Amino acid sequence: MSERPTVLFVCVHNAGRSQMAAGFLQHLGEGRIEVLSAGSAPADTINPVAVAAMAEEGIDITSASPKVLTDEAVRVSDVVVTMGCGDACPFFPGTRYEDWQLDDPAGQGIEAVRPIRDEIRRRVAALVEELLPS
């Protein structure tokens, strides 16, 4: 792993789960981890309920935009975290893969998205501890 590890979060639309995870990792990693996110079939815009849920945590993801998953993004990543994209992610030897089973916030109200957000935060915090031991 490089001095500054790179983590790629992938979900189908790159509009909810992966964007929330990227927002948390940028915040909790304090710039010590390179953060990427992408989708196998990106949406046009980020889920506004995900934006609102993150704003409740003091994290602004309004400037993020869904991006298409590329082989290059996977290749440069030390850790690839998938969230419901199935076999859409390319596989490269030497890259660590994790699959986080999380409900999709698409079409959900804020009450349903909050627990998803909180679980993402918990998992991201554990990942930070692992990648940046004190």
Residue by residue, DSSP assigns 58-69 as T---TT----B-
pLDDT tier at 113 (50, 70, 90 boundaries)? Answer: very high
Mean pLDDT taken over the chain: 92
Residue 8's nearest CA partner among 60, 68, 78 is 78
User: Span 8-17, mean pLDDT?
Assistant: 94
Please report, rounded to a whole number, the percentage of residues in the chain having pLDDT higher than 70: 93
Relative to beta strand 79-83, strand 96-99 is parallel
Both structure tokens of 84: 């419901």
Q: Report whether pLDDT(2) > 60.
A: no
- Domains of the chain and any CATH numbers: 6-131 (3.40.50.2300)
Q: Report whether pLDDT(89) > 70.
A: no
Q: Report whether pLDDT(90) > 80.
A: no
> What are the pLDDT digits (tens) for 30-60?
999 999 999 988 999 999 999 999 999 999 9
| pTM (whole model) above 0.95 | no
Query: Are 37 and 80 spatial neighbours (Cβ–Cβ below 8 Å)?
Result: no
